[in-house]
Structure 1
Amino acid sequence: MGTRIDFNTDPFIHIRRELHQIPEPGFQEEKTQTYLLNYIRDLSQDHLEVKTWRTGILVKVHGYAPAITVGYRTDMDGLPMTEETGLPFSSSHQGMMHACGHDLHMSIALGVLTYFSETQPKDNLLFVFQPAEEGPGGAQPMLETAEFKEWKPDRMIALHIAPELPVGTIGTKTGLLFANTSELFIDLKGKAGHAAYPHQANDMVVAASHFITQLHTIVSRNVSPLDSAVVTIGKISGGTKQNIIAEDARIEGTIRTLSIEAMNLVKERIEGMAKGIEASFDCQTSIDYGANYCQVFNSEKETNDFIDFVKGLDDVEYYESPKAMTGEDFGYFLEEIPGFMFWLGVGSEHGLHSSKLNPKEEAVDVAIKLLINYLKR
């Protein structure tokens, strides 16, 4: 059995390019929501229902003899970075880019939705256009809404592009796929002073430097070698001028772990080290963990069914994915609803969250036809 069906996917390349030009931050996806709603309202409405929540959209496709409802989720937001692809359809929003593939995710979802608006499925389908995956997190609050609860599916699936995999490759596994993640923001406050009189001040640049050095001992000296964790500091800021001792400093980073126990341990050690810094440098610290995402854990029955389906196709190749320290708030859906996430190969030289990410658009056709065949069985 192949993935070839009589359905033209070319328009969704154009849609992807238009969406690529309007990336927006989480819960600010107004242009994106408007674009999607305009498209969805032009489809046949014979067996469709549409609801909105904040900047998100829910589209229910009523089946002709439904036994279950299958949910398909796509994320919508972009990332705060300047695009450097040089593409003719580069971002028109300064300082924002679809650098995680959400433009492809949405165009694929519209392609699948279009097919089932024209060809009524047997079972109900729920298309979930979810905002704020990159932060502060849209999945968890969306799950709690009356709109979602009314149409809550019995099964939930999603995909994510994989730049390192060639087009035509589908990767997944049962069990743990993505890690637990947490943002990390640490503010330090001391006492400013003249650079010539360091003894009269409490220097937060020095304090932050010591703190960062200590943070990088947590994984090597506190987490079991048989477990996995990452603490990465991606941004440091402090001070106002070269001859003023800094009163404030801020450390920003991320925590990734493969177990809840390791996440709790890392946070406990960070908080203990903060108390030590306060004592050592006579300062105050405050810690904010920002958005916390639970692990993506693929349920065994549903994932194995999908793997068997993929292995039976002629023109895609199955790849058993390793665990990844990637974070994804789709994990919140899987905490409540059995299902899975899978990787879609897009063959880009540059990876996720790169300003030069350039997925091969042939993957849109692969994904749309694969999902149509899977959902119409």
Structure 2
Amino acid sequence: MLSESDLIAIRRHLHQIPELALQETETHQFLLETVKKMEQKFLEIRNSEELPTAMMVLVHGFDPQRTIGYRTDIDALPVEEQTGLPYSSKHPGVMHACGHDIHMTVALGVLSYFSEHQPKDNLLFFFQPAEESESGGKQSYELGLFHGRWRPDEFYGLHDNPDLPAGAIGCRMGTLFAGTTEVNIDLNGKGGHAAYPQDANDTVVAAAMLISQVQTVISRSIDPIQSGVITLGKIDGGTIRNVIAGHTRIEGTIRGLTQKMIETIDQRLKDICEGIGRSYNMDVHLELNQGGYWPVENNPQLTKRFISYMQSAPNVNFVETAPAMTGEDFGFLLAKFPGTMFWLGVDDDSQLHSATLTPKEEAIQQGVDAITGFLEYRMTE
């Protein structure tokens, strides 16, 4: 079984070889080699031709009543590391700035334990590529990776949190992470001379009205007790001051705590774009791209059981947390399988996606112990 020093060494190696979404070949190979060094008596390893950097490991239980899934993400971000650590990224411009090296290491620690202590139920460990982009969770589901004995009855996963004490477990009933949708709006009118507006169709003016109307969606179409965000962060129209713009593009993002809320916001945006198009006699094209970044909506029954265990476990520091408006593609899998996502505290002054993120490594063993204890408790029910 992997010791704490083994786990720290694994984490530091993973930290040095970060790779972007769907490019995690070196990471995949290291994970595969690490798992193959474990006791193989209860393990079955599966790779996928359709999603080559994904890896699944099934731990066969001695009296399985269910298959419990555990997911970890394996990709990194296009960030130039600035931590100054001796084990900093060896890949220029790429860094585990979201802590997925911590995620993978904890998963390996839990898997290592159950490779030597056969569980009652089947356990499915899913090492998932492309969380940060490319919707790896959605891809894995749509490619049919979860079928037959590889289909989990329930799914769990963690995300590290620099705002919580090292090793603390954070969770909540309801939504943990918001869902996200990319918004692209193209307004196509007619360009012309600034002195002859009657002969043109100004997309900048139409865009200004559209942006103003969008500001009313959250304040007038969403229950104020709930929460949603629309940010239009980029606008590009025109070429020079004395030419009326025939095309303007607006780019932004939607965040919502439930899929129903996101769909409501989507519909209001469609209505507004259609109305602006008619009012200004121009084509207004709206593109909404959510991919797999659905809200992480925790299953009520499973999450209540998870929180109850973590609150009562003698060596676990449990913290009830507020929902976060950041996105996570585990939300798509939780829309397909009941499950729970939770936080693992890593106590750092730097935030996620920061070039200086330096998680506390003592969180790793505490995370392994808490998750192992919960899974053993879950299998007694």
TM range (shorter): 0.7 to 0.9
SS of aligned partner of 1:78? coil
Matched-pair contact (CA < 8 Å) for 1:278–1:284: yes
Instruction: State the 1:59 CA deviation.
Output: 0.6
Equivalent residue number for residue 174 of structure 1: 173
- Normalising by structure 2, we get a TM-score of 0.85
Relative distance call for 1:43 and 1:267 in structure 2 (3 A) is same
Distance between the aligned counterparts of 1:43 and 1:235, measured in 2? Answer: 50
Paired AA for residue 294 in structure 1: W
Q: Determine the structure 2 residue equivalent to 1:153.
A: 152
Q: Are 1:32 and 2:31 counterparts?
A: no
CA distance in structure 1 between the aligned counterparts of 2:89 and 2:215, rounded to whole angstroms: 36
Residue in 1 that maps onto 2:306: 306
Superimposed CA distance per residue, residues 199-235 of structure 1 (whole angstroms, 9 cap, x where no aligned partner): 8766656654554343333212332323321112344
| Deviation for aligned residue 1:241 | 7.3
Q: Which amino acid aligns with 2:211?
A: I
Look up the equivalent residue of 2:73 and give its one-letter code: D
Task: Verify the 8 A CA contact 1:9 1:368 in the aligned structure 2.
Answer: no
CA contact (8 A) 2:183 2:253 kept: yes
Change (3 A) 1:208 1:179: same
Q: What's the CA shift string for 1:27-79, capped at 9, x where partnerless?
A: 33233222222322333322211112312111111123333221100112223
Q: Does 1:47 align with 2:42?
A: yes
Q: 1:65 to 1:92 in 2, by over 3 A?
A: same
Deviations 1:147-186 (A, max 9, x none): 4212112221111111211113211123333333322222
The one of 62, 68, 77 aligned to 1:64 = 62
* TM-score normalised over the length of structure 1: 0.85
**Separation in structure 1 between the aligned mates of residue 8 and residue 242 of structure 2, nearest angstrom:** 54
1:190-339 matched pairs, under 5 angstroms: 190-191=189-190, 208-237=207-236, 248-279=247-278, 283-292=282-291, 293-339=293-339
- Structure 1 residue identity aligned to 2:350: H
Preserved CA contact (<8 Å) 1:159 1:343: yes
2:137 is matched with 139
Matched letter for residue 54 of structure 2: G
Secondary structure of the corresponding residue to residue 17 of structure 1: helix
2: CA distance between counterparts of 1:86 and 1:201? 56
Kindly provide the amino acid, as one letter, of the partner of residue 320 in structure 2.
E
Q: For structure 1, which segment, 56-65 or 243-252, has the greater mean C-alpha deviation from structure 2 after superposition?
A: 243-252
Task: Structure 2 unaligned segments of length 5 or more: list them.
Answer: none
Structure 1 residue aligned with 2:372? 372
Further displaced range: 98-107 or 11-20: 11-20
Partner Cα distance (1:358, 1:245) in 2: 49
Residues 65, 222 of structure 1: CA spacing in aligned structure 2 closer, same or farther, 3 A cutoff? closer
Alignment root-mean-square deviation, CA:
3.0
- Which segment is superposed worse, 142-151 or 278-287? 278-287
For 2:359, the equivalent position in structure 1 comes to 359
1:111 corresponds to which of 100, 109, 112:
109
In the superposition, relative to structure 1, how do residues 167 and 188 fare at CA in structure 2: closer, same or farther (>3 Å)?
same
Decide whether aligned partners of structure 1 residues 45 and 347 sit closer, same or farther in structure 2, where only a CA change above 3 A counts: same
Aligned residues: 372
Q: Is 1:14 matched with 2:5?
A: no
Over residues 251-288 of structure 1, what are the superposed CA-to-partner deviations in whole Å (9 max), with x where a residue is unaligned? 33221123344322311222233234445666433222
Q: Against the structure 1 CA distance between its residues 17 and 288, is the aligned structure 2 distance closer, same or farther, given a 3 Å change threshold?
A: farther
SS at match of 2:348: coil
Q: Percent same amino acid among aligned pairs? A: 48
Aligned counterparts of 1:242 and 1:357: Cα–Cα separation in 2: 43
Q: 1:77 and 2:75 equivalent? A: yes
The corresponding residue for 1:3 is none
Q: Is the 8 A contact 2:2 2:109 kept in 1?
A: no
- Residue 376 of structure 1 deviates from its aligned partner by 3.3
Bigger mean CA deviation after superposition, 83-92 or 296-305: 83-92
Q: Which amino acid aligns with 2:356?
A: K
Secondary structure of the residue that 2:4 maps to in structure 1?
Answer: coil
The SS at the match of 2:89 is: coil
Change (3 A) 1:298 1:192: same
Larger deviation, residues 9-18 vs 203-212: 203-212
